[in-house]
Structure 1
């Protein structure tokens, strides 16, 4: 049987390992080859945009919601990881930390560490000077934690900083924005990737703020930016200028531009109306009136607003939820009678810790008088409410859940979805009630739980079984929080029909396999609702998602809240859910929640409720600023006619590069003893070892379906065989390639060139400078003058080959040709570096002009002020002499300042030019690099 040669193996090893320019399709293909991601062209385009210039300080990826910015960032991160640039940190909202960790692990096979106080202190205790300094793990932390640890953050020389939901920092230009300024200073000079669907919401200064986080040398100072771009009349010219300044580091893709590649599913709402029983309504009114009482002893001082809001939410959840909390209030009042100040237990509300952080302590003007009689009256009141709550054994909303689930399952199955539902509640006691209710009504044994603790027996069993299943595949992280989520989600996916989750279930899990979602309790925070629905209605969902909500028609405030969420925020229907403009208009969902809670607390009549909600809707209409929406479209969105053609080209190039890279991997393994597996048109192979064998698959989807091994770059076999290929000495030989004996392939060129002979030389040009890149140079000369391009060389190297003798020496003309090709490639690297350099020069020149413009405007403002002061002096003839002299003195001081500014302005402009030159010198220094040429092999070849 004809074998492959070491030269062919080395050819494929070089192709696989080559450090291609970061922004090339081939480099992306190398990155993609080891990840489990279904890529769309806009995501590849965004990732390439983010890494296109080695001199850039970063980029803003501002795709509309639902286009997979996480995947785009994951590709960039994977690119850095593959290049061994592994000091990487992800700064994200606290609620998204686990989701990011899971995405990195599941899709990109990259390990990470959640850096929070407990982990930070543990590492410190174990001797780590700076716990952020970790090896071979991406650090993930929240914005608040990163801000608190700014000093430690600054001490690490990060290769890449990724900030998700980066619009949280858009007010960094304000000194009052403590978190933003701490992070900006701590991460100055580090390469950053900012992810946000709303980089510009209410004010152009927000755009200035985000850009300054990436690079302080884009625009002048905040005052100059405001004068040049905000306080202008000609917005068309302004927008055009801003677009030009931003085009090199801000990219935004619209959902409407990618419909050819991305299949979007709909949200289909079902509203289940219900009427509470007389006792339920009585309980609601009792507690609502109680919470509106001026003085309450059961609620701890400084926390009344927070606890009132939580109690109202528990009251709306179920009688069981409020019943347990009433007992806690009663216990606190009993303790007060004994002279003991006790904590109030409201752990039933799953996100109480997160909510507490968003509420400031309320300051009371005077100490609350301990009125024993008042406490006893309140105690008697609460005991009456508690007895009423305990007497309620059935909830109208719960009974209606059975009807709603039946409707939801029918609709989901009609739409092609699986018979699975996730039910969200804000209360753990309600979770227990729903478990019993559903178990007693036909769903016993089909239900799983997810909450902040999962300490029940079923959850423990599920976790232990999951650990046993995955003990050898690296899925077990050691973190109980992460592992229990993974275990419960897998149980729900593979065996259960219903997942009942508290808010903890809305964080960091993907439920694309489920397309029925029930909001048993409806949060007042629209961002929280979007997060819930986004667990199912997300990138990768194959079916329309049915969303069930409940509405108590007898409660006027509930009706208005639902209308607001449904009609204004458009959360429950349509293809995309809430728009960026609407959801982004809320700076903080918790603040919006507080506003709703305030209406419930303040209003006692339907008219009052109507008036308050009308005012809130008016405020929202103002917040959704049409001018800013138009500015965002003009400045950030890509309206080029050829955007579709660009994405088409991107897809074609990526697929071609992927196919090529996958074939290189396939043939490299065949050349090291792997065996083909039927059917031969699939890229699978078998590796035998000590009588055992493994089947590897280069297609992750096919591997998952078949249970075969998806080949990853960290596979020991992969690195061992590459090592072997790299160490093999290659002497000049002649190789006979067997095309005629290959019955499975037909290549038109070789069909007509049987007997073709020639010489092939392979060199590698390595460049080390601001970045690292390598290029393979092929010098080919056929005896009959036929030309071979790289694609044909590749096809030839895939044929089985046999060494049939030595290779003749290279002629002088062949050597000259080799040197010319190498020189040309070096020139191309030089040209690319020149392009990067000129881009940076343009940016710095524009920055310098902004600074100079600021100086001129400062002088112009002073001259204007002098004119006004002159008018004031001329009009002061009726004033006492002392006041006239005072005005004159001010005028002379202003004139003196003007003369000084006029005299110094040239000097200050020179200083700006010197600073510009200094910055450009730094760039030139970075660009200094070394080229190294390595000769890989020279072979003679014959096609048989």
Structure 2
């Protein structure tokens, strides 16, 4: 029992733009999300929209609070408002994760832009691949830097930087990526996501804030002079000034403040040692010594260090991984010998497939910079030939040794580790499921075959960068058939294959053996056992792996098993650092990230480890090298700014908790209301096309079943499409309702048929009157739309907005067409105009407060710059006085004359500075006034009113 008048009201309520002061600012985003949102995430998203003129914000919530979801809410809202030029810049390993989460949680399509598809698009005539139609662009920091000129040509609605602490040293001239990206993204709204915006120096905070708004502080020098001495040396006045300046753009919530809403689980570490056999250890020692040589022909000189790293990973992985690698190196030497016969030697000769066995290689290479070394080092062709033949013979011996090893002691230890792990899972009541990570696809194949021989037949699924084995193809085909009538299928074979394998693991398999591909972009929170069969040296990659299971939404503690070679001193030291310094394997959810934030890039750490393996030959050398590295890490990780960060960025717990409780209540009410409106509108507009079921909040159309997201989250069903605000059907019906021309009619609202009690309406039962609805558009500080009800009863008593909104939620029926008298029309119009005046006055007051804040900000910014000029003169005066004293004390005539010459030059320079001081200060004031005029223009209030309909109402 819904009328077209109610349907139209619901349509406008669903699509109108709210002020960022209310939960309604995220209306469309909230009813689109398939994830249960927590109040701190809603608050963070609203904070970003409240940021001055939507320049952007730094969202610095502690790890484990779902900053990706916060950014997703912001992106989803902009998407619904048709602001779709959105760029996400992330470290390479996070690209797939963002791609997947945007689709799974918000139904937003995205494209990962990298060299291969970028070049393909350019070749096919796309002038700028960064400009995408209805797709969000995801790219890495390095690629964004490389294509900064193309990136700059797009008029971005939003740019998101994930792991933004990588940019915090942008104030340093050596930070080329940061400086390039700051220049390329200047003027566009930005969201910076980082749990550690401040690690070692307040200058890092200055660096990040300069991305958002370059006018919050003067310049680097003035900031350093005023604030960068540290909290203890700073005056209370300066500290409060700094806190006030950053408050409008920096938001931080702590885990302890949200314990009412988020359940945190622990990590339980288990170390599984193994003893290599004599043959395995001999192979390891020989290949390791081979890799340490200064000159090798089998490794391409352009990537010598990276290539050595890859070979070392495969050597530690399994004899099967290294045997095929050795065979590839032998083939490369054969290729070099052929080239020598032709009388030339190319440095990149002999393309070979070593890298193909390692899934994350491309991401590592993207961050890896290396200088190419000459291949010949002055050797003649005959000398080279002799050395290559000798190297080949040696590699052939290692290859034969590797092939002779039939079983690996580490694999035997895996059986014990799995028993321990599964026993622990039983104790904590978790699913008996384990994900085993290895660096190598050859090791992966060996482990499947080994485990199937040892009691795990038909319990294993593989996951890698190719997913081309027969089992994967069969799983994919069955998955496509199973989901042909729901929203799971995206149309991207890669994404759908990944989803099919994860679902198979969840529903049927006990073990997933995965390469690094599974550490990116998949959700395995139904699994609580992570086995690092091969342990990467990059701590950020380890966190990625564990984070597939130990993540937001995990309900059980997560067991983490790591393997340790009992004979390998260097391996033990690496594990010690990863465990003790980075605290990766134990503690509450995500505790390691506070420390990981100390690293700008895990690849740099990998390089340091690689250097130790390459240069140290004795146990003593290894011990000393790791001691030095640990000392450096202590310096980086000691978090000396922790106290400053706490006082500067964090608010009182009680104050935050109270706000979050209010958000929790408001979000629930708003979401329920919006869902009711969408459901009622859909039932009315789709009545001739679909059959609706109120009990399950689902409907059937053209033999397809659709269900409201809120209901679908409670009971997951196959062959059901998730119905939401952004669904094409919803959009069609909303537009249908909005475009309808409605003439004045009699509408009877049936309170007697309403399932519930609305006290404020009970006194109106049996009464009738008149009502009109107008839509007010306001463009000022924010674009806002207000739906204004004007209503009276026949006694002339006015009905307020809340009563009208409640009335429109009652069951209702249409009556006869009516004539609207001039006097009633004028009364309703005057009421509407009065309400509009109140709304506009409220917006003007908010705008005035904002203008005062902007003026104060620009005043401080200009004063910073002026103070710098005066400080420079004062410092030069001090230098002159110092030189004068020195000149008086010296007895050497030549020195005295030279000093007096310097004094005269400095005095001349100081006089020039004094003369130009006022001109420069006037110039700063002019610049400040220009900036303020620009802001005033943006805030000029523009309004328009649209009359929607008028009715005669009755409540029975």
- TM-score when normalising by structure 2: 0.93
Compared with structure 1, are the counterparts of its residues 321 and 42 closer, same or farther at alpha carbon in structure 2 (3 Å cutoff)?
Answer: same
**CA deviation string 1:93-133 (max 9, x = no partner):** 22211111111111111111222222222222222222222
Q: Which residue in the other structure is 2:233 paired with?
A: 234
Map 1:338-349 onto structure 2 (within 5 A): 339=340, 342-343=350-351, 345-347=353-355, 348-349=357-358
Q: Which residue in the other structure is 2:246 paired with?
A: 246
Pairing partner for 1:607 from 603, 620, 626: 620
Please state how far the C-alpha of 1:629 moved relative to its aligned partner: 1.9
Secondary structure, counterpart of 2:874 in structure 1: helix
Q: Which residue in the other structure is 1:134 paired with?
A: 132
Please state how far the C-alpha of 1:297 moved relative to its aligned partner: 4.0
Q: Does 1:739 align with 2:751?
A: yes
Structure 1 distance, partners of 2:698, 2:289, is 72
Q: Which residue in the other structure is 2:190 paired with?
A: 192
**CA deviation string 1:552-601 (max 9, x = no partner):** 22222222222221222111112124433421222221121222222223
Q: Which residue in the other structure is 2:364 paired with?
A: 355
Q: Which residue in the other structure is 1:299 paired with?
A: 299
Please state how far the C-alpha of 1:694 moved relative to its aligned partner: 4.2
Q: Does 1:623 align with 2:631?
A: no
Structure 2 distance, partners of 1:101, 1:582, is 26
Pairing partner for 1:730 from 732, 742, 747: 742
Please state how far the C-alpha of 1:813 moved relative to its aligned partner: 5.4
**CA deviation string 1:380-416 (max 9, x = no partner):** 4333322222111111110111121122122223323
Q: Which residue in the other structure is 2:933 paired with?
A: 921
Q: Which residue in the other structure is 1:697 paired with?
A: 708
Q: Does 1:314 align with 2:314?
A: yes
Map 1:655-674 onto structure 2 (within 5 A): 655-672=668-685, 674=687
Please state how far the C-alpha of 1:753 moved relative to its aligned partner: 4.4
Secondary structure, counterpart of 2:641 in structure 1: helix
Q: Which runs of 5+ in 1 are unaligned?
A: none
Please state how far the C-alpha of 1:835 moved relative to its aligned partner: 2.6
Pairing partner for 1:435 from 433, 448, 470: 448
Secondary structure, counterpart of 1:775 in structure 2: strand
Secondary structure, counterpart of 2:32 in structure 1: coil
Aligned 8 A contact 1:697 1:703 in 2: no
More off after superposition, 610-619 vs 911-920: 610-619
Please state how far the C-alpha of 1:643 moved relative to its aligned partner: 1.0
Aligned 8 A contact 1:683 1:698 in 2: no
Q: Does 1:874 align with 2:888?
A: yes
Pairing partner for 1:909 from 917, 921, 925: 921
**CA deviation string 1:465-486 (max 9, x = no partner):** 4445455656555554434323
Aligned 8 A contact 2:200 2:639 in 1: no
Structure 1 distance, partners of 2:13, 2:790, is 16
Aligned 8 A contact 1:447 1:499 in 2: yes
Q: Which residue in the other structure is 1:324 paired with?
A: 324
Structure 2 distance, partners of 1:733, 1:577, is 60
Structure 1 distance, partners of 2:336, 2:131, is 49
Map 1:73-112 onto structure 2 (within 5 A): 73-112=71-110
Structure 2 distance, partners of 1:455, 1:709, is 29
Q: Which residue in the other structure is 2:120 paired with?
A: 122
**CA deviation string 1:853-877 (max 9, x = no partner):** 2112111111111111211222234
Structure 1 distance, partners of 2:761, 2:841, is 33
Aligned 8 A contact 1:26 1:658 in 2: no
Structure 2 distance, partners of 1:350, 1:298, is 21
Q: Does 1:849 align with 2:863?
A: yes
**CA deviation string 1:894-924 (max 9, x = no partner):** 1122222222212211111111110000011
Pairing partner for 2:149 from 148, 151, 156: 151
Map 1:784-803 onto structure 2 (within 5 A): 788-803=799-814
Structure 2 distance, partners of 1:766, 1:791, is 20
**CA deviation string 1:614-636 (max 9, x = no partner):** 22222111112443222222222
Q: Which residue in the other structure is 1:173 paired with?
A: 171
**Number of aligned residues:** 936
Please state how far the C-alpha of 1:192 moved relative to its aligned partner: 0.8
Q: Which residue in the other structure is 1:719 paired with?
A: 731
Q: Does 1:780 align with 2:791?
A: yes
Please state how far the C-alpha of 1:342 moved relative to its aligned partner: 3.1
Q: Which residue in the other structure is 1:62 paired with?
A: 60
Q: Which residue in the other structure is 1:765 paired with?
A: 776
**CA deviation string 1:493-527 (max 9, x = no partner):** 23322221111221222212221111001111111
Compared with structure 1, are the counterparts of its residues 367 and 490 closer, same or farther at alpha carbon in structure 2 (3 Å cutoff)?
Answer: farther
Secondary structure, counterpart of 2:17 in structure 1: coil
More off after superposition, 277-286 vs 393-402: 277-286
Please state how far the C-alpha of 1:695 moved relative to its aligned partner: 5.1
Structure 1 distance, partners of 2:387, 2:698, is 81
Compared with structure 1, are the counterparts of its residues 495 and 216 closer, same or farther at alpha carbon in structure 2 (3 Å cutoff)?
Answer: same
Q: Which residue in the other structure is 1:451 paired with?
A: 464
Structure 2 distance, partners of 1:637, 1:697, is 38
Q: Which residue in the other structure is 1:277 paired with?
A: 277
Compared with structure 1, are the counterparts of its residues 263 and 236 closer, same or farther at alpha carbon in structure 2 (3 Å cutoff)?
Answer: farther
Pairing partner for 1:506 from 514, 519, 522: 519
Pairing partner for 1:900 from 907, 912, 922: 912
Please state how far the C-alpha of 1:693 moved relative to its aligned partner: 7.5
Compared with structure 1, are the counterparts of its residues 454 and 710 closer, same or farther at alpha carbon in structure 2 (3 Å cutoff)?
Answer: closer
Compared with structure 1, are the counterparts of its residues 23 and 677 closer, same or farther at alpha carbon in structure 2 (3 Å cutoff)?
Answer: farther
Structure 1 distance, partners of 2:435, 2:242, is 45
Please state how far the C-alpha of 1:774 moved relative to its aligned partner: 0.5
Q: Which residue in the other structure is 2:604 paired with?
A: 591
Aligned 8 A contact 2:19 2:25 in 1: yes
Secondary structure, counterpart of 2:640 in structure 1: helix
Secondary structure, counterpart of 2:853 in structure 1: helix
Aligned 8 A contact 1:807 1:940 in 2: no
Q: Which residue in the other structure is 2:181 paired with?
A: 183
Compared with structure 1, are the counterparts of its residues 197 and 277 closer, same or farther at alpha carbon in structure 2 (3 Å cutoff)?
Answer: same
Q: Which runs of 5+ in 2 are unaligned?
A: none
Compared with structure 1, are the counterparts of its residues 667 and 300 closer, same or farther at alpha carbon in structure 2 (3 Å cutoff)?
Answer: closer
Secondary structure, counterpart of 2:893 in structure 1: coil
Q: Which residue in the other structure is 2:878 paired with?
A: 864
Please state how far the C-alpha of 1:236 moved relative to its aligned partner: 5.4
Structure 2 distance, partners of 1:475, 1:274, is 42
Structure 2 distance, partners of 1:925, 1:817, is 30
Aligned 8 A contact 1:524 1:596 in 2: yes
Structure 1 distance, partners of 2:386, 2:905, is 70
Map 1:631-646 onto structure 2 (within 5 A): 631-639=644-652, 641-646=654-659
Compared with structure 1, are the counterparts of its residues 931 and 564 closer, same or farther at alpha carbon in structure 2 (3 Å cutoff)?
Answer: same
Q: Which residue in the other structure is 2:263 paired with?
A: 263
Compared with structure 1, are the counterparts of its residues 142 and 787 closer, same or farther at alpha carbon in structure 2 (3 Å cutoff)?
Answer: same
Compared with structure 1, are the counterparts of its residues 136 and 784 closer, same or farther at alpha carbon in structure 2 (3 Å cutoff)?
Answer: same
Compared with structure 1, are the counterparts of its residues 368 and 239 closer, same or farther at alpha carbon in structure 2 (3 Å cutoff)?
Answer: farther
Structure 2 distance, partners of 1:637, 1:58, is 19
**CA deviation string 1:330-369 (max 9, x = no partner):** 3344455553653454222333333334040253593456
Secondary structure, counterpart of 2:436 in structure 1: strand
Structure 2 distance, partners of 1:310, 1:234, is 47
**CA deviation string 1:622-676 (max 9, x = no partner):** 1124432222222222235311101111111111111111122222234346499
More off after superposition, 162-171 vs 551-560: 551-560
Aligned 8 A contact 1:426 1:521 in 2: yes
More off after superposition, 532-541 vs 634-643: 634-643
Q: Which residue in the other structure is 2:9 paired with?
A: 11
**CA deviation string 1:702-758 (max 9, x = no partner):** 36347544322343442333333233333333332222244x323334445432333
Please state how far the C-alpha of 1:892 moved relative to its aligned partner: 1.5
**CA deviation string 1:72-109 (max 9, x = no partner):** 00110111111111111111122211111111111111
